[in-house]
């Protein structure tokens, strides 16, 4: 590795404190265009080595660390990092295998759905090495198929084209996938993210454990993970809502497949409209798992108003003795912000709310202590009186 990027004197870049990113405006001089996708050393103004990273002069994030040592982002490194990522995870058939900076592979995500791997390349460096990644994954895991879901908007910010492809060149057919106590409909080519919200899979059992005999509302249900687990656990009734027709269709098929069609009512509707229209509806357990209303810091204030609104509506429809399970999946909405919104909604609704359980992203989405952006999913299970 020959290229070096430097921080200016008196830099206050977070990389000096261990953050794995350097923004273009934090560098002494902009990286030359030829460094796109290449390995670069980062040094401070005095020449102290800070790590090896991948560069992208076209991105706001000009450098992303992949090693604290002097290494090249070559096939040997990829092999080491991928093998380490697999080794640090529990041997489950359905799991996140690789999560970007948290696995020293900036821009690479790989989810495992039994013998199917679904990958995303969100940096130029990973995109260029997709062939090597495919080969190494094949060697380590012998998957039947690898799907590249390269249609996430993050690729646009790196100057990469959007598209979906498979290793075999043939489309991957949607299929059933066992997740916890139910089978869900996995469409790896067109579903949200890599097909499922894998990061919530451990929460299904947590919430289902509280569902027996309760009237349940799963407000942002996608493929029905929470709804079906609650029905399976003996909920008195389950109503599941999602604004996406495709999601509701998949959840309906899954209800049928699991023998729970009579136990789950599904509606394709905007949750805000539902709450406005159905003022008399009452529940004993409400799950709120909305999309990230705040995708940027700037959008935070509006997002918090949205979060407060749905919490207020949910609290108004919970009978005393009820349970609220609520999640926020944006790193901009921190634990305190979410708790603040819940407290303020409880105040407006004049309800007494207590935290029963604190929830977080599962361990196969590891949080890096030096990288706040890696912590993005929080939740609470609350009692409502
Ligand atoms: N709980 C789900 C994941 C939910 S992701 C699971 O575990 O699989 C958020 C979902 O909210 C998406 O499916 C999206 O289609 C839906 N959504 C977004 N905005 C919505 C709205 N205003 N009303 C209803 N659903 C909405």
| DSSP 8-state assignment for residue 243 | S
Cα-Cα-Cα-Cα dihedral sign, residues 238, 111, 296, 203: positive
pLDDT score for 297: 75
pLDDT of residue 96: 98
Q: Provide the pLDDT for residue 296.
A: 76
Pocket test for ligand 1, best of 291, 307, 325, 328 (most atoms within 8 A of CB): 291
Is ligand 1 within 6 A of the CB of residue 376?
A: no
Closest protein CA for atom 11 of ligand 1: 220
**DSSP letters along 194-206, please?**
TSS-GGGHHHHHH
How far is ligand 1, taken at its centre, from the CA of residue 156, in Å? 23
200 Cβ closer than 6 Å to some ligand 1 atom: yes
Closest CA to 105 of 385, 376, 368: 368
Low-confidence ranges of the chain (pLDDT < 50): none
Q: Evaluate: CB of 223 within 6 angstroms of ligand 1.
A: yes
In this prediction the pTM is 0.96
Token code pair at residue 227: 């709804």
Is 221 an annotated catalytic residue?
Answer: no
pLDDT at 1: 61
Residue whose C-alpha is closest to residue 155's, from 105, 107, 196, 100: 107
Q: Enumerate the β-bridge partners of residue 113.
A: 94, 116
- Using CB atoms within 10 A of its CB, is residue 162 exposed (0-12), middle (13-18) or buried (19+)? exposed
Tell me if 327 CB under 6 Å of ligand 1.
no
Task: Confirm if 104 and 81 have CB atoms less than 8 A apart.
Answer: yes
Q: Which atom of ligand 1 is nearest to the CA of 201?
A: 7
Is the minimum distance from the CB of 273 to ligand 1 under 6 angstroms? no
Q: Alpha-carbon Rg of the chain, whole angstroms? A: 22
């Amino acid at each position: 590795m020959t290229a070096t990027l430097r921080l200016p004197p008196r830099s206050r870049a977070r990389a000096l404190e261990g953050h794995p990113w350097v923004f273009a405006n934090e560098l002494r001089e902009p990286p030359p265009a030829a460094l796109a996708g290449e390995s670069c050393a980062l040094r401070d103004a005095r020449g102290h080595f800070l790590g090896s990273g991948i560069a992208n002069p076209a991105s706001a994030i000009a450098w992303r660390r992949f090693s604290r040592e002097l290494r090249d982002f070559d096939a040997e490194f990829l092999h080491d990092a991928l093998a380490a990522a697999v080794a640090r995870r529990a041997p489950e058939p359905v799991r996140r295998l690789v999560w970007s900076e948290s696995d020293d592979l900036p821009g690479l995500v790989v989810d495992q759905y039994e013998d199917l791997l679904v990958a995303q390349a969100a940096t130029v460096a990973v995109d260029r090495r997709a062939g090597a990644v495919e080969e190494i994954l094949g060697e380590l895991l012998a998957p039947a198929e690898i799907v590249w879901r390269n249609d996430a908007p993050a690729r646009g910010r790196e100057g990469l084209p959007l598209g979906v492809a498979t290793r075999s060149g043939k489309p991957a057919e949607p299929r059933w996938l066992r997740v916890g106590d139910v089978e869900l409909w996995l469409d790896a080519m067109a579903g949200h993210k890599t097909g499922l919200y894998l990061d919530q899979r451990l929460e299904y059992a947590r919430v289902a454990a509280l569902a027996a005999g309760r009237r349940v509302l799963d407000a942002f249900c996608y493929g029905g993970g929470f709804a079906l687990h609650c029905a399976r656990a003996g909920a008195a009734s389950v109503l599941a809502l999602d604004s996406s027709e495709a999601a509701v269709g998949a959840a309906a098929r899954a209800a049928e497949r699991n023998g729970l069609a009579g136990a789950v009512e599904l509606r394709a509707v905007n949750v805000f409209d539902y709450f406005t229209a159905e003022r008399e509806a009452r529940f004993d357990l409400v799950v709120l798992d909305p999309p990230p209303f705040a995708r940027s810091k700037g959008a935070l204030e509006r997002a918090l108003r949205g979060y407060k609104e749905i919490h207020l509506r949910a609290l108004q429809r919970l009978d005393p003795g009820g349970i609220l399970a609520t999640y926020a999946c944006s790193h901009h909405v921190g634990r305190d912000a979410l708790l603040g919104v819940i407290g303020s909604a409880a105040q407006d609704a004049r309800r007494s709310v207590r935290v029963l359980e604190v929830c977080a992203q599962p361990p196969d989405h590891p949080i890096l202590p030096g990288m706040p952006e890696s912590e993005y999913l929080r939740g609470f299970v609350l009692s409502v009186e």
